[in-house]
A = this chain, B = another copy of it.
Amino acid sequence: MSLARRPFNFAPGPALLPEAVLRRAAEEMLDWQGSGMSVMEMSHRGREFTSIAEKAERDLRALLAVPPQFRILFMQGGGLAENAIVPLNLSRAGAVDVVVTGAWSQKSAKEARRYADVRVVASNEADGHTSLPPPASWQPRPDAQYLHLCSNETIHGVEFQTLPDLKALGSDAPLVIDCSSHILSRPIDWPKVGLAFAGAQKNIGPAGLTVVIVREDLLGRALPACPSAFDYQLVAENRSMFNTPPTYAIYIAGLVFEWIAAEGGVAALEARNVEKSALLYDALDGSGGFYVNRVAKDARSRMNVPFFLRDESLNEAFLAAAKERGLLQLKGHKSVGGMRASIYNAMPLEGVQALVDHLQDFARRHG
């Protein structure tokens, strides 16, 4: 590693990791704490790896203040697989309600239809996924086994600022949240939640690990078609060792959890994320229309900021100039176009400031 400063990587996931985590992983690669083994080489049932997995679980529980009646599961498959695994475990082949706020909740609704009677009870499709449908307008079904929403839409940059209280809407259904792209960036309001899941590759660690946090009373409902490797009950009973878990990804996640704690925990990161996202949105909004973010202000994500250049013929020049400044992976998702800056926990304020400088310089040169 010869670079004086690492570039700032705005990828939506897999994404930037804290440099301290990468340095420690490199140092421990051949010999984890005198064990003579790389973490990749450890039996998942051995003393060494068990201690790593248990510490990771404990640290995550502390960081997110997960109540004792919730189980933390380390699984495989990512968000897309989890869109099937959730209804396989919770739907009872009955009614499932979904709130659509972007590409990811749309995928969830589609996938759940394999197993359940799915109804979209609210959607922001009419405005191109740029707003949050007010919970008072939702009409959850009384027989719904659960209601699913994506609390932060990675592609469309739409984030719930507070979770809905389903009880206040007259529903007893557990709330399922896909919080893949903002987990650990803010607290989770557990009394409102039945299950939260997150692919690791944004705020947690490497791709290939999925974290599922599920209320105990929701275990044991899996459909016969649920592969045993994905049956929450079996995974919970076996402390995520029912099958071989993605051991190295769990180890890296554990290092990230330690890093978050050292940075002051989720509250400190949330304050930083508020500051970072305000800096970026202010620059976009203050560009006199040179850049546009189309998401309603109360729905804007602190993590994923999609934006467009008014003159899209400048897109390639914008990306090339960004790369020269060490600002990487800013191209928007193919389904949306334009640009997207993902500014997860590991992105320092300095990185967002460097992006804002680029936005302003580029606008000045091409405005």
With A81-B230, A208-B246, A208-B248 known as contacts, the answer to whether A14 contacts B43 (CB < 8 A) is yes
A38 and B242 alpha carbons, distance in the complex (Å): 30
A36 touches B7 (CB 8 A): yes
A9 touches B41 (CB 8 A): yes
B79 touches A243 (CB 8 A): yes
Among A84-136, those with CB < 8 Å from B are 84-85, 88, 111, 114-115
A22 touches B17 (CB 8 A): no
Cβ contacts under 8 Å, A29 to chain B: 22-23, 25-26, 29
B229 touches A328 (CB 8 A): no
A329 and B44 alpha carbons, distance in the complex (Å): 11
Number of copies: 2
Cβ contacts under 8 Å, A245 to chain B: 207-208
B41 touches A225 (CB 8 A): no
A43 and B249 alpha carbons, distance in the complex (Å): 16
Cβ contacts under 8 Å, A15 to chain B: 41
Cβ contacts under 8 Å, A44 to chain B: 14, 207
- A 18-55 binary contact with B (CB < 8 Å = 1; else 0): 01001101110111000011101111101001000000
A31 touches B3 (CB 8 A): yes
Cβ contacts under 8 Å, A338 to chain B: none
- Quick one: which of A7, A37, A227 has the most chain B CB within 10 A? A227
A14 touches B247 (CB 8 A): yes
A137 and B201 alpha carbons, distance in the complex (Å): 49
Among A209-240, those with CB < 8 Å from B are 209, 224-225, 227-230
B328 touches A37 (CB 8 A): yes
B31 touches A247 (CB 8 A): no
CB A13 to nearest CB in B, in angstroms, measures 7
A46 and B319 alpha carbons, distance in the complex (Å): 14
Among A232-274, those with CB < 8 Å from B are 242-249, 252
- Report if A168 contacts B (CB, 8 A): no
Q: Tell me the interface secondary structure of chain A in the complex.
A: loop
Chain B residue nearest to A113 (CB atoms) is B224
- Report if A351 contacts B (CB, 8 A): no
A43's contact among B17, B111, B230, B329, by CB below 8 Å, is which? B329
- Report if A164 contacts B (CB, 8 A): no
With A40-B252, A246-B206 known as contacts, the answer to whether A76 contacts B76 (CB < 8 A) is yes
Cβ contacts under 8 Å, A199 to chain B: 244
B227 touches A84 (CB 8 A): yes
A77's contact among B2, B13, B49, B76, by CB below 8 Å, is which? B76
A225 and B13 alpha carbons, distance in the complex (Å): 28
B229 touches A114 (CB 8 A): no
Cβ contacts under 8 Å, A12 to chain B: 43
B248 touches A207 (CB 8 A): yes
| Interface residue ranges, A against B (CB under 8 Å) | 1-3, 6-7, 9, 11-17, 19, 22-23, 25-27, 29-31, 36-38, 40-44, 46, 49, 76-81, 83-85, 88, 111, 114-115, 199, 201, 205-209, 224-225, 227-230, 242-249, 252, 326, 328-329
Can you sample 23 A-B contacts with CB below 8 Å?
A: A7-B37, A9-B36, A9-B37, A11-B46, A14-B40, A14-B247, A17-B38, A23-B29, A23-B30, A26-B27, A40-B252, A43-B329, A44-B207, A77-B229, A77-B243, A78-B229, A81-B229, A81-B230, A84-B228, A111-B228, A114-B224, A114-B227, A207-B247
